[in-house]
Amino acid sequence: MTAYILGVGGDDRRYGVEELASLGGVSRRTVRYYVHEGLLPEPLGVGRGRHYDDPHLQALLRVKQLQERGLTLERIREVLSHSKSARAATEPVPAPARSSWTRVELVPGVELHLAAGVRLPAPGRLRELVEWCRRHVRRSEESDG
């Protein structure tokens, strides 16, 4: 039995395809196949600088674990896809911005909304606004007939 200690030396471990395959107990060809099939993420970098990191190794070990439990690659793909969407669904959603408003119903169906920090009009001006709304705002069924 071989045991590997991961994470020694910081979070920036980089593996070539040969080392990743060795750590995962598979061939280089298998690593490339899993990437092609979407079971592993694409390697980082470009050209000869392409490399893998600890999340790649963890994904490879997860695929191997699921295979050892008897799952087909198609079923493994479904399980991995489901776990990604489940993680995305449980990620915290930022709370909407809150603000205080004052709501004044002028006439049925017409409201005046004032943000915090905006003063209500004086009572006399508010009565004028209500009267204006009564004269000029009609329900659609009143204006049709």
Q: Tell me, yes or no, whether 112 and 50 share the same domain.
A: no
Residue 29 belongs to domain with CATH number: 1.10.1660.10
Residue 116 has pLDDT above 70, yes or no: yes
95 within some domain: no
C-alpha closest to that of 56 among 85, 26, 79: 26
Q: How many domains does the chain have?
A: 2
Average confidence score pLDDT of the chain: 82
9 within some domain: no
DSSP string, 74-114: HHHHHHHHHHHHHHHHHSPPPPPP---EEEEEEETTEEEEE
2 within some domain: no
Residue 36 has pLDDT above 90, yes or no: yes
DSSP 8-state code for residue 39? S
6 within some domain: no
Q: Tell me, yes or no, whether 36 and 84 share the same domain.
A: yes
Domain of 85 in residue numbering reads as 17-90
Q: What percent of the chain has pLDDT over 70?
A: 77
Q: What contacts 102, CB < 8 A, 6 or more positions away?
A: 113, 114, 116, 118, 120
**In this structure, what token pair is assigned to residue 14?**
């980089």
110 within some domain: yes
Q: Tell me, yes or no, whether 130 and 110 share the same domain.
A: yes
